[in-house]
Amino acid sequence: MNAACYTVAPVIEFDRVHASRGDREVLRCVSSHVEAGETLALVGRSGAGKSTVLKLINRMLEPSDGSVRVEGRDTRAWDSTTLRRRTGYVLQEVGLFPHMSVGRNVGVVPTLAAWAPERIAARTHELLELVGLPPAEFELRWPDQLSGGQRQRVGVARALAADPPIVLMDEPFGSLDAVTRAELHVEFRRIQERLRKTVVLVTHDMREAFALADRIGVLDEGRLVACDARAGLQASSEPAVRLLLEASA
């Protein structure tokens, strides 16, 4: 038997990645990887470079130095459209298309991928069920008729629609009230239990990271200063990590 069969190749790899936004270097020499089915949370203060990491993964940005590999291939070698359709994306502001019904919003990526209409309809129903929005009630509603929590559920359903192996989430629950957020945390764990996607989630809240992620990466001024499971992180002496832990204690 081939030795490779025993090693699970990482789905996402960062190899000494530098990245800039304008003249400002926002990531400095970040190296890390995410395994298949793993949920990695990126934590850090505002401007630490968390969102930049997500945008590097689906090639909305390219590294200024080093390389980002997805499924073993450099993002610059990927066709960016193909790559993005394999990568679900959930934003804090959700970004639902206001001129499309909830159902059509969920079906956007399958439609772009030219699925058959019946298959899109079936998939849309399945996903609305999955995120706890009964299709009979919600499919024909419009984004502005939904609460913040409902909108974010639609955002998650939309990200999962074409069954992408990778899901990127940029502070997905950041703008929700505490009760709704707790509710969605439960939903997230339930869904992730079933689907086992490779998830990279950005948050500024260490408690949210502990609640949702297998491992947590801490970014501080563009550097990845720690990347470990909960127990390891709590034992860390890194000042930036201590600061975040104390803030969420």
- Cβ proximity to other proteins: between 52 and 58 the closer is 58
Sites of contact with other proteins (CB under 8 A): 58, 60, 80-85, 87, 89, 91, 93-99, 108-109, 112, 142, 158, 168
CA proximity to 156, closest of 180, 143, 172, 175: 172
The residue (of 95 and 135) whose beta carbon lies closer to other proteins is: 95
Shortest reach from residue 238's CB to other proteins, in Å: 31
State the nearest-atom distance from the C-beta of 80 to other proteins, in Å: 8
Interatomic CA distance for residues 179 and 185, integer angstroms:
10
Q: Which is nearer to other proteins, 24 or 99 (CB)?
A: 99
By beta-carbon proximity to other proteins, the closer residue of 94 and 120 is 94
Q: How far is the CB of 37 from other proteins (least distance, A)?
A: 22
Q: Write out the two tokens for 203.
A: 């948050």
Of 31 and 80, which CB lies nearer to other proteins in the complex structure?
Answer: 80
Shortest approach of other proteins to residue 25 CB, angstroms?
Answer: 22
Are 223 and 16 spatial neighbours (Cβ–Cβ below 8 Å)?
no
Minimum distance between the CB of residue 207 and other proteins, rounded to whole angstroms?
Answer: 25
